[in-house]
Structure 1
Amino acid sequence: MSKTLPRTLLAVLLATLFPFVVYSDSGPDRLPDFGDSAGALISPRQERALGEAFMRSVRRQARLVDDPLIHTYIRQLGRKLVAASDMPAYPFSFFVVEDSAVNAFAGPGGYIGIHTGLITAAEYESELAGVMAHEIAHVTQRHLLRAYESARQMSLPTAAATIAAVLLGAAAGSTDAAIAGATAVQAGSIQYQLNFTRANEKEADRIGIQMLAGAGIDPSGMPAFFERLYQSNRLYGAGNIPEFLSTHPVTSDRMAETQERAREMAGGGRRDSLAFQLVRTRLLVLSSPGPRQLLPALPAQGTPAQRYGRALVLARTGHPRQAEDLLRQLHASDPDRIMYRIDLAQQLLEQGRREQGLALLKATLVLYPGDLAVGRAYAEALLAAGRDRDARDVVLALLRDETARTPDLYALWARSTSRKGPAWETRFASAEAYYLQGNLPLAIDQLEQALALKGLTEYDQARIRSRLEFFKARQAERTKRE
């Protein structure tokens, strides 16, 4: 993976992508009139395509957390919030960016990015959920798409120059130059968009608080977290301002309004959850360069999250039996907890007790069919045991969930067929993984290799050709833009 995409550059990239999407149906000199803020600024199909392109760009330029347990928790929390929104059927996708900055962002098409720094900075689940609800509200209230209005009078050369400045600067690793180039071309437009976004922060707060209450989560988590960030900004000065405050300015007036709205909506919502504390602890341990140093803060007789963290540290520092003992204790006290079951199974597998580990994972998948974390862990274990076809069946079942389709899962599908499964399927799965990573040339190459193989059925050929034509069309569009 390449280095993490700076949030400032990402904001500029978003700002420049919006006016780019719909050139083809407009005249030669100006972007089209998109209508007012309350209208349909972009078709659902265009928005989806833009969101997918945005996500591929993020995967190319940022380091994403691929830990299935962390990813699954964030997806589940996000889905709970979306279910309480006024767009419960909208296809939101949630992902975690490996970045210590305290921040989150909403991209086009409902793609919501959560920084690892935000997860570890939050003290309770309601605080993390408050930020996520705020970002979801930016999407449901169409704040991102309203940025089209500032691009009405932008000429195509200006838009093209801006995109070129950002993309060339990012490709060269000179993000400062990219931002400077973009600012020189359309500083006024970007400033307008930033101001416009600030004007909608209060609306996102209000809708987000309603979302929290509807999801059964304590709405005071949002203002409590904002207050802590605000106080840290005052304490440490502008030079150390949390990233979230840079992109989501918090004033004393806005904070007071948010606190008042939270009080009005208060009604016994959940402040915290063990799942959040386990994920937060897991993230702290897995991201620590020296996990052994964490042991004093993770007593063997502490809270479940502390004991879980201690087990992870012991597992990472060469003490598998001690880790297993702690995980068995936790599992006995909370037998249906997915995280305990998966990590206990991993310890059994790593100690050579393969059948016990596989049995525990299989039983867990029966309890939680379709769970991404369980399914991936089970498929990996099956592959290690040489049961490739069984692993393939597990992966294909997971891929039925469109929101679970990540490069890692497609790569796992490819691995499950690389030794025993049809060669075309290995290349087909690899092509899908490359496509989601934004690498169209390699995706096309894999499908062309697949199509050249002998023994393909007519159905196989049709399936490969269909995706190959789609990838080539996307590549032609990209080449034309460049």
Structure 2
Amino acid sequence: MTAVPRGVERRTSIKRRWNNRRLWQCVRRPLAIGALWALLPLAAGGQNELPDFGDAASATFSRADEREIGALIMRQIRAQLPVVNDPEIESYIQNLGYALVSSISQGTTDFHFFVIADTTINAFALPGGYIGIHSGLITNTDSESELASVMAHEIAHVTQRHIARGIAAAEGTQYATLLAVIAGILIGTQNSQAGQAAIAGASAAGAQSQLNFTRTNEKEADRVGIAMLAKAGYDPRAMPTFFEKLDTASRYYSRPPEFLSTHPVTTSRIADSRGRAEQYPYKQYADSITFGLTRAKLRVLTTNNPARLLASYDAELKEEGTGDRSPALYGRALVLTRLGKTERASKELRKLIAAHPERVRFRVALAKQQLVSGDTEQALATYRNAYGLFPDSKQVVRAYVDALLRNDEGDRALVILDDYSRLYAKDAALYRLEAEAFRLNGKVMSSRMALAEYYYRTGELNGAIHQLQLASNEPGGGFYQNSKLDARLKELKAERDFLMRR
């Protein structure tokens, strides 16, 4: 009898309750993520509290169901979209997200925040608390509160269970109408006029009802998000301010911000959010230094013209200012490294380390600059010093282990990875490094098993299964390792069989 992985039986029940094969397939496609909100009906209610819904949504689509489907979509996103795999950026966006989530008392949803390397201004929420942020949103917001306002809005979509409630209400809707609305929203992200035409081609009543539901969702997410901002210590007025900027951009540019394709901003919505925000006392809100540093790094990582960016930083740093200039200095040092101007970059980074010895990112950036300039010995010394000061830093561990492996020091790399994994879960990048460390040490079975976990976490289910099959043919595994391998292989095969049947 084929082993069934944990959660598959529940997924099967989701499928029966959903009772719409094509719609299920749409959820499995990352391109349909933004369109999900066109399917989400709900009833407006409440003021600033977060109600605990014991309605049809809970009966049809439980929180466990949401987590499983969200994880499935997330694996496909990692396989098909440029998810930023930088621990410095990951840490910032997760800390900001958790600060917002911790301000609300309701729910047990686990949240997962990630950044996609895309210069468009957009964000989206998935079932199970997965929140995606485009890099363009971070680099184009003028304050941390503006960024937090968009994230709070997306978090509210999850806490208010808009997807679950939408599925519960959509059970009686003809799937042809739903798919037409999905197609319209998807087309609209590329061409708004074509998207509107596609929606108009659907059943008029059905399509209009879904769009009305979307407007209601957006207003509820605004209401809950503004309260969340205020409780977390961010400026609630940042939400209407950012909406106004998006609205202005939509008037003056031929292609409006992507965020407007799935989050339509109207005059009444701006006015409503402004009215709610004005209920809170006015005060000044300062951006965290990590916001500026993260934005600077993303600008360097995503720019198509590093020389122009360098000129921009040079001009900014020539201006008189009283604020903390380390984000601009950091951005300039990074872009100098990217342009191969390593000596100048090194001087900038050493000054930053001297001024801010507690900031690990400056030490990691210096070590990477030393590697680029060919000074491997000095880079390893810099990493060794940083690791001694910050042994729990994922940023240091990843970069240091990678440098050790490039220097064929697999033994040392495994020790560091083992120490880290005793306290923290390994992510895809650490599994990839672990696989290489095992390979350098001649432990082929362990290497393939680690590589399988890397493939699985990046959405390559078939690749993960293939690596486990190859590992099973390797000699030398003990009883425990072989048993672990067999169980994992059965689990992944059962998941693949389940997906192929859908």
Pairs aligned (count): 448
- Cα drift, residue 421 of structure 1: 5.0
- Report the equivalent of 1:82: 101
1:216-271 Cα distance to aligned partner (Å, 9 max, x none): 222222222111111222333xx422111221122222222322332333465743
Work out which of the residue numbers 38, 49, 61 in structure 2 matches 1:42: 61
Percentage of matched positions with identical amino acids: 42
| 1-structure distance, mates of 2:367, 2:271 | 48
Q: Is the 8 A contact 1:218 1:271 kept in 2?
A: no
1:113 counterpart residue number: 132
Q: Which residue of 1 aligns with 2:147?
A: 128
The answer to whether structure 1 residue 247 and structure 2 residue 262 are counterparts is yes
The letter of the residue matching 2:245 is R
Change (3 A) 1:461 1:364: same
Shift of residue 372, structure 1, vs aligned partner: 2.5
Q: Deviations over 1:141-162 (max 9, x none)?
A: 111211112332257xx58x96
Asked whether the equivalents of residues 67 and 128 of structure 2 are also in contact (C-alpha less than 8 Å), the reply is yes
Say which SS state the counterpart of residue 128 (structure 2) adopts: helix
The partner residue of 1:349 within 364, 367, 371 is: 371
Classify the secondary structure of the residue corresponding to 2:440: coil
Q: How does 1:54-453 map to 2 (within 5 A)?
A: 54-87=73-106, 89-153=108-172, 158=175, 192-236=209-253, 239-266=254-281, 268=283, 270-299=285-314, 303-396=325-418, 406-420=427-441, 422-453=443-474
TM-score (ref. length: structure 2): 0.79
Deviation (angstroms), 1:140: 0.9
Deviations 1:41-76 (A, max 9, x none): 423332221011110221233222223322221122
Q: 2-side partners of 1:134 and 1:345: how far apart? A: 38
- The whole-number CA distance in structure 2 between the counterparts of 1:204 and 1:321 is 49
CA contact (8 A) 2:57 2:168 kept: no
- Between stretches 36-45 and 88-97, larger displacement belongs to 36-45
Deviations 1:97-116 (A, max 9, x none): 12222110001111111011
Instruction: Answer whether contact 1:16 1:162 (CA < 8 A) is retained.
Output: no
Q: Structure 1, residues 153-173: CA drift from partner, whole Å, max 9, x if none?
A: 257xx58x969x98xx99xxx
The separation in 2 between residues aligned to 1:133 and 1:108, in whole angstroms, is 15
Match of 1:11 in 2: 34
- 1:256 partner letter: A
Q: TM-score, length-normalised on structure 1?
A: 0.82
Shift in alpha-carbon separation, 1:400–1:192, aligned structure 2, 3 A:
farther
Change over 3 Å in CA distance of 1:325–1:99 after alignment to 2: same
Q: Does 1:454 align with 2:469?
A: no
Contact 2:435 2:446 in 1 (8 A): yes
1:467 aligns with 488
Q: CA-atom RMSD, angstroms? A: 3.5
Structure 1 counterpart of 2:83, one-letter code: L
Higher relative CO (Cα under 8 Å, sequence separation at least 6) belongs to 2
Q: Please tell me whether the aligned partners of residues 424 and 451 of structure 1 are also in contact (alpha carbons under 8 angstroms).
A: yes
Once the two structures are TM-superposed, the CA of residue 279 in structure 1 deviates from its matched residue by 1.6
Q: CA deviation at 1:369?
A: 4.3
Where does structure 1 lack aligned partners over 5 or more consecutive residues?
Answer: 19-33, 171-175
Deviation at 1:199, TM superposition (A): 0.2
Q: Residue 456 of structure 1 aligns to a residue in which SS?
A: coil
Return the alpha-carbon distance in structure 1 between the equivalents of residues 401 and 282 of structure 2. Answer: 42
Change (3 A) 1:476 1:178: farther
Distance across 2 between alignment mates of 1:129 and 1:113? 13
Q: CA deviation at 1:478?
A: 1.6
Distance 1:205 1:17, change over 3 A: closer
Conservation of the 8 A alpha-carbon contact between 2:392 and 2:420: yes
Deviations 1:5-27 (A, max 9, x none): 99864334787999xxxxxxxxx
Distance 2:393 2:306 in 1: 28
Letter matched to residue 196 of structure 1: F
Distance 2:271 2:194 in 1: 38
SS of 1:276 mapped into structure 2: helix
Does the aligned pair in 2 maintain the 1:14–1:107 contact within 8 Å? no
How far is the alpha carbon of 1:134 from its aligned partner? 0.8
Separation in 2, partners of 1:316, 1:406:
26
Higher deviation after alignment, 407-416 or 298-307: 298-307
Question: Residue 5 of structure 2 corresponds to which residue in structure 1?
Answer: none
Shift of residue 211, structure 1, vs aligned partner? 1.9
What is the letter of the counterpart of residue 455 of structure 1?
G
What stretches of structure 2 of length at least 5 have no aligned partner? 1-27, 42-52, 188-192, 320-324
TM-aligned CA distance change 1:400 to 1:218, over 3 Å:
farther
Tell me, in whole angstroms, the C-alpha distance in 2 between the residues paired with 1:369 and 1:213.
Answer: 35
Question: Do the aligned residues in 2 keep the contact of 1:104 with 1:112 (CA within 8 Å)?
Answer: yes
Contact 1:217 1:269 (8 Å CA) reproduced: no
Letter in 2 for 1:418: R
CA–CA separation in structure 2 for the residues paired with 1:362 and 1:141? 46
